[in-house]
Amino acid sequence: MTNIILLGPPGAGKGTQAKRLVDDRQMVQLSTGDMLREAKTSGTEMGKRVADVMARGELVTDDIVIGLIEEKLNGASGGGFIFDGFPRTLKQADALGELLARKGKTLDAVIEIQVDDAALVARISGRFTCRTCGEVYHDETKPTKASGVCDHCGGTELNRRADDNADALRTRLVEYYKKTSPLIGYYYAKGQLHGVDGMAEPDQVATAVAKLLDKR
Ligand code: AP5
């Protein structure tokens, strides 16, 4: 069993690669973004509190996301956990280390998906996802084969995110560079960081990720 973090700015391809690892290696994707969006639509008190923060592109408080991850770590882990969009601050990284240690689990690799900022804007502005299975698409680079129908599950509810707009994206990038990019040094110092070229085609990125995991 392999537990990994997918690290990278908004639009780097973390969700895209996580979905492949779920299909190919039966790993379990833990996306704090998906969990928060689910809380938002289910109308819980916490969901209401985070909705505005997310729409602006700011980070939700550490305690909320750490709580969400802690709950999920008690569930099935299949071929291992993929932490997608978590941790995003040094406090979250410390908390993840403590949680895993408490549960007798290890963190096996941190994979940084490296992408130029200009490409991120183009990726985010064309993105849509299947509401049923979470498959990620793009207007130009990955449209659905049949219009309005998910290739993966046949679902017909295709959705664009409220925070995929120019203003929120600017804030998301600032948040990433201010609060999340210090994790690159944090995990490098622990000898756990591996970089992959996220500017390559998704298949090539997936091959690079698979090679890293197979080496272990
Ligand atoms: P979250 O949902 O985690 O969003 P994000 O980190 O901004 O990342 P994205 O989902 O936008 O991008 P991605 O890297 O998954 O790219 P994707 O594969 O979709 O977080 C949203 C919000 O929730 C945050 O702003 C914050 O408010 C809150 N939040 C979440 N976690 C938190 C935490 N831990 N702490 C505090 N707050 C938290 O790909 C993007 C597009 O590019 C797609 O269209 C895809 O088809 C395309 N694409 C993918 N790979 C390639 C490629 N190699 N070449 C060309 N196109 C590609």
Q: 9-24: per-residue pLDDT in tens?
A: 999 999 999 999 999 9
pLDDT greater than 90 at residue 76: no
Answering whether pTM is above 0.75, one says yes
Q: Which of 14, 20, 40, 72 is catalytic?
A: 14
Annotation says 102 is catalytic: no
Mutation test residue for ligand 1: of 32, 130, 164, the one with most atoms within 8 Å of CB? 32
Q: Find the angle CA(22)-CA(15)-CA(52) to the nearest 5 degrees.
A: 130
Residues in the ligand 1 pocket, defined by CB under 6 Å: 8, 10-16, 32-33, 36, 53-54, 57-60, 65, 85-86, 88, 92, 123, 126-127, 136-138, 141-142, 163, 172, 198, 201-202, 205
Averaged confidence pLDDT in the chain: 94
CA–CA dist 206, 208 (Å, integer): 5
Annotation says 127 is catalytic: yes
Tell me what the mean pLDDT of segment 174-194 comes to. 97
CA–CA dist 187, 172 (Å, integer): 21
Rounded (to 5) percent helix, strand, coil in the chain: 50, 15, 35
- pLDDT bin (cut points 50, 70, 90) of residue 112 is very high
127 CA from centroid of ligand 1 (Å)? 10
